[in-house]
Structure 1
Amino acid sequence: MLNKDTIFLVLLLFIPVSIAAHFLEWGETTVFITAGLAIVPLAGYMGTATEEIAVVTGPNLGGLLNATFGNATELIIAYIALKEGLIEVVKATITGSIVSNLLLVMGFSMLLGGLRYKEQKFQSTAARLNASTMNLAVIAILLPTAVEYTSSGIGEITLQRLSVAVAVVLILVYVLTLLFSMKTHAYLYDVGVAEFDEADMVETEVETSKTEEKPNVWFWIFILLLVTIAVAVESELLVDSLEAATTELGLTALFTGVILLPIIGNAAEHATAVTVAMKNKMDLSVSVAMGSSMQIALFVAPVLVISGWIIGQPMDLNFNPFELVAVAVAVLIANSISSDGESNWLEGSLLLATYAVLGLAFYFHPVVAGMA
């Protein structure tokens, strides 16, 4: 039976294939597809390397590393797209990552976990705090758009300055959430990791007795560096071929940015969340899904806004109104379902159905100016 590691090893073969497709000019669509497939295992190995380093560095620094590198793949892809001037695609990727984590990842986790365990419980207090933070994120990305639509003759420079100021506030909030979750109220977030069933406890003790040595931190730092470089190379190929490939495939850049790119960048993380949900560790699964969405909204998006301002590719937080509707819908239903601290397969199905409806809407959405 194929497991995740075997699939990742097979997908690594697409790294040389994508490079060959680029230099031998096998077509932009081939480059786009193979580069996308190559990024999936690289994102997984980046997460593994970060976790191994975190074992050595301890919970505080390890938590910071996990928080920083949790969405590094999406950040790299988005930054390269930003550098190439594909600003609307970058914005679509941001909203798509939030939507896919809240609906697709949580949906599959609750569905498959619920089919196995009927009803699953998780820490409702942490879920409500995450929900409140996501509400702030929605407000923050909604207001610049509202200012632009309700003001006559507002200049691009003014909108850019507003976006940079909002980005700074969001980064400060992100720092506060890290302080809250890793220091002052860490106990709220340790429940899902600490609560093993008896079988898991026995399995863990056996594994610990076999491998008491800590991971070689320098080896994993080297792996992390190597994988990051590989992700950057593959992201460059992906972005360079994006416009031509989407045209050949009959897809709009909006659909590609909101649906395809987030799935590529988040595939490994998606697999982790679903796997732990099927082991009845719903706390950890919800933490991965909602935590990733929060990191995109509070860290990745603001960093891209500030980076664009620095490198001369001004990106603001004036999103396509339909993208904002999608984010608001995702946050609303995810918050509603997670507020009681319990989940079942039907709630997972509702999240997946919402994602499917949004996906269809983005597929049929007409091309937006500047994204063709």
Structure 2
Amino acid sequence: MTSTTATPQISVKAIIFKLPLLFIPISIAGHFLHWSPLTIFLTSALAILPLARLMSTATEEIALVAGPTIGGLLNATFGNATELIIALTALNAGLIAVVKASLTGTIISNLLLVMGLSAFLGGLRYKEQEFQPTVARVNASTMNLAVIALLLPAAVVSTTTGIEEEPIRNLSIAVAVVLILVYGLSLLFSIKTHSYLYDVSAVEHEEDAAAKEKVNLPLWIGVLFGVTLLVAVESELLVGGLEEATKQLGLSTLFTGVVLLPLVGSAAEYITAVTVAMKNKMDLAVSVAVGSSLQISLFVAPVLVLTGWVIGQPMDLNFNPFELVGVTVAVLITNSISSDGRSNWLEGALLLAAYAILGLAFYFHPVIPGM
């Protein structure tokens, strides 16, 4: 009796997660059949959602076999691969404002939406959840540095009359190099010298050892490369219809970049963080949410600056001041809530409320030329 009831549940769950894969051929067909930009934008966005989840799963499976050091580097490299691919595609298309907005939006959504959902839903099931306070303090200090790095170019522009673009671009390149070095040091800290702070429980180690034997490594490597290629194709379609689609939807470029694109690119991370939080593994949820924000600010943003310099697109770290306000607010409230290494449902609700307020502010923000 038990087996007959379990099978339909598993199949329904599999269908729910695999059904959006149908949007891959639909979006590609729409491109060749010259469907409206809005239709292509929506179908490609829906196609990216399951691909991001598949990429995350493939990375985890390969990391299981590769061991903690290589696995950590792999997760660090592919953790935000979807967001990076979308941003690179938009950068190549010259949509600099969209790229900048998507970077700040991803940081804000990870710190407020993902952390908020994790703490809220986990807190409804468990009265209070704990995570490593030392890691929280290290993450807070690193995020403070990232905020300073993002604020300084805008501060230079606002305090200097008639400044040209080249000095700001040169400053951004120099800061990008420093941030990448800091990112390397943070990897050394978390993977090598202080890996015990980020370690999982012994029970999970035993589970990983058992699961390791079942991993089909060649299959998952193939899946990872195949999915990466498909994400690149879908990102091209997404960005191609972005400007026209946002006009038809009545949305500003700022709101699209800060709110919509992060929801598309980071969907897999949201699901992962909330799932582990509801299993009382808040350490992992915090690692996913805050770690992703750190990767965006210390690695993805600098890489985009350097890439823009190489391909001739004027990408710099001079962000819209209102975006910087949003990032600063997100970092401040997240640091204040996570500093004690404990969370509950009310703290999660506060983070979600902050995200809702910022989202409304970006939605009603007046449309300014070039934004």
Tell me if TM exceeds 0.5: yes
Q: Residue 101 of structure 1 is aligned with which of 110, 113, 118? A: 110
Cα displacement string for residues 101-125 of structure 1 (whole angstroms, at most 9, x for unaligned residues): 0000000000000000011111111
Ranges in structure 1 where 5+ consecutive residues have no aligned partner: none
Q: Within 5 A, what are the aligned runs for 1:250-265? A: 250-265=250-265
AA matched with 1:242? L
In the TM superposition, residue 367 of structure 1 has moved relative to its aligned partner by 1.5
Indicate if the aligned counterparts of 2:108 and 2:326 stay in contact, CA closer than 8 A.
Answer: yes
1:254 touches 1:368 (CA, 8 Å); kept in 2?
no
Q: Distance in 2 between matches of 1:4 and 1:301?
A: 36
Shift of 1:316: 0.7
Query: Post-superposition shift, 1:6?
Result: 3.4
Determine the structure 2 residue equivalent to 1:175.
184
Instruction: Please give the residue correspondences for 1:7-46 in structure 2 after superposition, counting only pairs within 5 Å.
Output: 7-46=16-55
Written as runs of structure 1 = structure 2, the 5 A alignment for 1:295-310 is 295-310=295-310
The number of equivalent residue pairs is 362
| Distance of aligned partners of 1:5 and 1:104 in 2 relative to their CA distance in 1, 3 Å threshold | farther
Give the conservation status (yes or no) of the 8 Å contact 2:38–2:244.
yes
CA contact (8 A) 2:64 2:212 kept: no
Contact 1:8–1:40 at 8 Å: present in 2 too?
Answer: no
Conserved? CA contact 2:130–2:283, under 8 Å:
yes
2:217 pairs with 1:194: no
Percent identity of paired positions between Structure 1 and Structure 2: 70
Per-residue CA deviations over 1:297-316 (Å, capped at 9, x if unaligned) read 00000000000000000201
Deviation at 1:320, TM superposition (A): 0.4
After the TM superposition, which residues 234-273 of structure 1 pair with which residues of structure 2 at under 5 Å, given as runs?
Answer: 234-273=234-273
**Change in 2 beyond 3 A, CA 1:177/1:208:** closer
Q: For residues 277-305 of structure 1, what are the alpha-carbon distances to aligned partners after superposition, in whole Å with 9 as ceiling and x for unaligned?
A: 00000011001100000000000000000
In 2, are the aligned partners of 1:40 and 1:267 still within 8 Å (CA)? yes
- Which of 66, 70, 73 is matched with 1:64 structurally? 73
1:212 Cα deviation after fit = 6.2
> Normalising by structure 2, what TM-score?
0.94
Q: What amino acid sits opposite 2:193 in the alignment?
A: T
How far did 1:208 drift?
Answer: 6.4
| More displaced stretch, 44-53 vs 133-142 | 44-53
- Residues 321 and 4 of structure 1, relative CA distance in 2, 3 Å threshold: farther
Contact kept, 8 Å, 2:110 with 2:292, in 1: the verdict is yes
Q: 1:4 to 1:228 in 2, by over 3 A?
A: farther
1:13 aligned counterpart, secondary structure: helix
Verify the 8 A CA contact 1:120 1:280 in the aligned structure 2: yes
Supply the distance in 2 between the matched residues of 1:69 and 1:277 (Cα, whole angstroms): 22
Aligned residue identity for 1:103? L
Letter in 1 for 2:34: E
Q: Aligned partners of 2:232 and 2:317: how far apart in 1?
A: 25
* Aligned 8 A contact 2:20 2:47 in 1: yes
Any residues of structure 2 matched to 1:1-372 within 5 Å, and which? 5-190=14-199, 193-194=200-201, 213-371=213-371
* CA positional deviation for 1:333: 0.2
Measured in 2, the distance between the counterparts of 1:121 and 1:104 equals 19
CA contact (8 A) 2:65 2:212 kept: no
Determine if contact 1:305/1:317 at 8 Å carries over to the other structure. yes
Structure 1 stretches of 4+ moved >4 Å: 1-5
Alignment partners' CA distance in 2, 1:359 and 1:241: 23
Secondary structure of the 1:297 match is helix
Report the alpha carbon displacement of residue 222 of structure 1 after superposing the two structures with TM.
1.1
Q: Distance in 1 between matches of 2:94 and 2:14?
A: 36
Cα distance, 1:56 vs structure 2: 1.9
Helix, strand or coil: the match of 1:12?
A: helix
1:65 aligned partner, one-letter code: L
Q: Whole-Å Cα distance in 2 between the matches of residues 295 and 215 of structure 1? A: 27
| Cα deviation 1:248-296 (Å, max 9, x = unaligned) | 0111111000000001000011000000000000011001100000000
Q: Which amino acid aligns with 1:293?
A: S
Q: Contact 1:56–1:214 (CA<8 Å) still a contact in 2?
A: no
